[in-house]
Structure 1
Amino acid sequence: VAVEPLRIADREFSSRLILGTGKFSSPEMMRDALEASGAELVTVALRRANLSGEKDPFANILEYIDQDNFLLLPNTSGAMNADEAVRLARLAAAAGLPKWIKLEIHPDPHYLLPDPVETLAAAEQLVKEDFTVLPYINADPVIAK
């Protein structure tokens, strides 16, 4: 059975798997897992990406991701409101990362539940700035429209 490609914005992906870069014991293990997975989208928490240019193999995970084979999807994990999330997305774009963003806004870091109102506000602003936004929200068809 042929599977239709996943289409997001103007891109097509043969894999529907999106992998994160957290929770690996080493950057090498992350790299090997990404390569073995067949995924084409990789989320990167901006707080884990070293955008300063300093050489620290555990901080600069971007050196371990082949950007010819994976589309980097920066995420705004750690943002507590729309303003913080928009600021993080702009920082990622200014650092040369794609204008694709996994939008995450968690006002309570203990529970990590998304804030749908702040997420909508941030998404509206980022779309105006030509970002491709993949929001992390609960299943709410009213707000998702």
Structure 2
Amino acid sequence: MADKPSKLKIADREFTSRLIVGTGKFASNELMRDALIASGTELVTVALRRADLSGKGDPYANILDFVDQKRFLLLPNTSGARNVEEAVRLARLAASAGLPKWIKLEIHPDPRYLLPDPVETLAAAQILVKDGFTVLPYINADPVLAKRLQDVGTATVMPLGSPIGSN
């Protein structure tokens, strides 16, 4: 009899799938929706800049209309933030719009290379953890930074395998 696969535990949640899928780079929202379902993921990251948080309900502008929030836990991300202030503002905006208080913390001061800023990430993580967010920071593969992020209370870390866009 084969061992039952262990679940992935992040904060107070358990996931059967270890795959986290993003919502970018799809030709259409319908294709994205179908890919999410086919992947078996339970955790979907979405850039806040692609979500209509205004409440206007524009079906062409709102990617959130294509993500079944009963099936997937939304993991809003702060992609596009260049510093602590922008990242914290985006996270708080997501929470005030009714999205989960889970956040993939991304701070990229250089839009060309999109490498995470470790100093700004640590500072933003401290603020967001104090605000009650479940923080999953996107970082370089840096064990010292990972330990410091653990010490401030982040739920986990998400070290990059290679720079964004290098695929």
TM-score, normalising length: structure 2:
0.85
Partner of 1:136: 138
Paired with 1:16 and 1:38, the residues of 2 have a C-alpha distance of 9
Q: Residue 47 of structure 1 aligns to a residue in which SS? A: helix
Aligned residues: 145
1:48-73 deviation per Cα after TM superposition (whole angstroms, max 9, x unaligned): 00111234333101111110110000
Contact 1:26/1:58 (<8 A) preserved: no
TM-score, normalising length: structure 1:
0.97
Structure 2, unaligned runs of 5 or more? 148-167
Paired with 1:119 and 1:8, the residues of 2 have a C-alpha distance of 19
1:58-95 deviation per Cα after TM superposition (whole angstroms, max 9, x unaligned): 31011111101100000000000011100100000000
| 2:160 maps to 1:121 | no
Partner of 2:160: none
Task: Map 1:28-107 to 2 at 5 A.
Answer: 28-107=30-109
RMSD: 0.9
Q: Residue 36 of structure 2 aligns to a residue in which SS? A: helix
Paired with 2:70 and 2:56, the residues of 1 have a C-alpha distance of 23
| 2:42 maps to 1:3 | no
Structure 1, unaligned runs of 5 or more? none
